[in-house]
Structures are given as structure tokens and as C-alpha cells.
Structure 1
Amino acid sequence: MDPAPAEGRRVLVAVDEGDESAHALRWCLANFAARGDTVLLLYVRAPPPTYSVLDATGPAGYMFAEEATAAVDGYSKQVADAVVEKAQKLCALHGKDNGEMKVEVKVSVGDPRSVICEMVDKLGADVLVMGSHGYGLFKRALLGSVSDYCVRNANCPVLIVKS
């Protein structure tokens, strides 16, 4: 009888709607994650929009803002569910979460850069795995880069998987 696997690493994989994060997860499962590891799938939803009372003109405007906020938040939850389901299917295809490796899912709300770095600490991640969108210098300067931010601010090693 084989002994129980030793407590492995906690590998946090940031997933989103992009092909880059799916590629990073596939690469991680095939080449990095090992028996005894826990793969933590993290999806960060954008916070629901907020409207001030000044945005609405009269009670009808305020009610419309509430409905719009609820619709956007509902859609955001649907997207999160779809992304998480896709990531879990990738794990199942690679034979993970079969007793040799655990898979856990976390969904959080906020700015992805700060939430990912906070979750590294909160979840005790030993390594953070992320995909890269491959933005050039100009786009990265304009849009910012979640992976660049995490490389500089996460309290663990960060593995960036290029497409």
C-alpha cells in the first residue's frame, strides 16, 4: 500500500475569460503541479457598478440604476461561473482532483491586481501561476498589466506562462 502523499505546495492559478489563462492552467497542470499539491483556482470578478443619488433624476432614475446594477452584477456572476466551470473541466481532463492533487475554487470581487496579491497571502500560496496577454510596451503602459503588478507585489514566486 502506498503511503499517503506528503503535504505538497499550494499553487494559486489566476483564471479569467482569456485564452491566456486557460493556456497557463493547462501548462501548470501538465508541467508544474505535482502529486500532493493543491491547485487553487482564483477568479476575480469586477465589483458591481455604483451609482450615486446624483446620477439619477427622480425616483424612476434611481430604480433604473438599481436594475442596471443588478443586471450587470448578475451577468458578472454568470461569467464567473462559466470561467470556473471551464477551469474545473481542464483540471478533470488532466486527471487532477483525483486524490493525488486537490483542486479548490475561490471567487473574489475587486481589482484583480490587489485581490490576487491579497489571496496569495490569505490562501498561503507557495507559487502564483498566471497567463500573459503579451501586451507590448505601449499597451502595457496604457492599460497596466496584472501580471507585472503581481510579479512586483506578490509575496511568493510568480510563474508567468506565455502563450
Structure 2
Amino acid sequence: MGGNRTVGIGMDYSPTSKSAVRWVVDNLVGEGDRIILIHVLSTKSDSPQKKLWGDKGSPLIPLEEFKEMNLSKQYGISADPEVVQLLDTASKTKKLRVECKVYWGDPREKLCDAVEDLKLGSLVVGSRGLGTFKRVLLGSVSNYVVTNATCAVTVVKGGSGPRA
């Protein structure tokens, strides 16, 4: 496997999004592939970065910068050291290119926009595991993305592995 694929991962640092990162590294990507962590922040954010980059999202942030920069101060994101370490190790051992992009808005819509914007070959998201009732009331990001994204989508549940 591997070569020249671009895989997006919806990232909110929840346990299921961390499982999605592990699943991608263990099962999907190989040498020469590219991973893009996609963060979607609330439109209520008043960060200067949101005002600067608006609807198109931030520029791509390479892993080296992602590790060094104060994401909390710049974007209001508290990066998880475990995820950063996992991606750093994978980038070195599998010769992957890892980047991050930040959008503002509805996660459902922005993840689908990212597919087009970043020309993703596949998108991997975690599932919060909402029951039927909550899913109807709150809406499911993973369900929306599976239905509307124009690329292959893999949904990873907590510890039980992926489902398409």
C-alpha cells in the first residue's frame, strides 16, 4: 500500500478521533502518502486567525510547525501529545507527509468541503456512538459525511475498528 494518497482525518481529540488516527497509521497509509488532520472550530470563535483565513480555512501547517507552534494561542486548539507523537513516529518510519488544516463552521459541512479543497482520496472520522434518538436530535457528523462526501469515508468506532 501507499504511494501518493492523501488521507484526511477529522480531528477533535476525542477518544474516537484518536482511534481514527491510530487506525489510519496502522491500516491505511504507506510510504509516500500524506495525512491531513482536519480541525473544525466553532464559528463563534473570535480568533484573529479566523478573521484572517475565513471560510477557506488556515494554510496547511506541516507537522514540524504543528509540533513547535502554540496551537492553543494561535487557533484555540489543545493538541494531544499522544497524537502528535504517533504522527511524528509514523512520518519518520513510513516516510509520510503530515499536515494540519483548521476550518471554522459546521463540522459536517466543513469536512465535506475539505474533501474537495484538499483533494482527499479518503476521509476517516471517529464516531461518537450516539444512539438513534440523540442522532435524530443532534445530527451525526459521521453519518452526514458518509452520505455527502465525494470520496471514500471510513468511520472508526472507539475500540471496535472501522465501518464503512
- TM-score w.r.t. the length of structure 2 is 0.73
Distance 2:39 2:18 in 1: 12
Match of 1:44 among 40, 49, 64: 40
Q: 8 Å contact 1:15–1:83 — kept in the other structure?
A: no
Gaps of 5+ in 1: 1-5, 50-68
Distance 1:128 1:88, change over 3 A: same
Write the letter of the residue equivalent to 1:110: G
Which of the two has higher C-alpha Rg? 1
Q: How does 1:73-152 map to 2 (within 5 A)?
A: 77-78=75-76, 80=77, 82-83=78-79, 87-92=83-88, 95-98=89-92, 100-152=95-147
Q: 8 Å contact 1:15–1:87 — kept in the other structure?
A: no
What fraction of aligned residue pairs are identical, expressed as a percent?
Answer: 35
- TM-score w.r.t. the length of structure 1 is 0.73
Task: Please state whether the residue corresponding to 1:128 is helix, strand or coil.
Answer: strand
Greater strand content: 2
Per-residue deviation at 1:87?
3.3
- Please tell me whether residue 155 in structure 1 is matched to residue 150 in structure 2: yes
Per-residue deviation at 1:75?
8.0
Q: How many corresponding residue pairs?
A: 134
Task: Please state whether the residue corresponding to 1:117 is helix, strand or coil.
Answer: helix
Gaps of 5+ in 2: 51-71, 159-164
Distance 1:17 1:128 in 2: 16
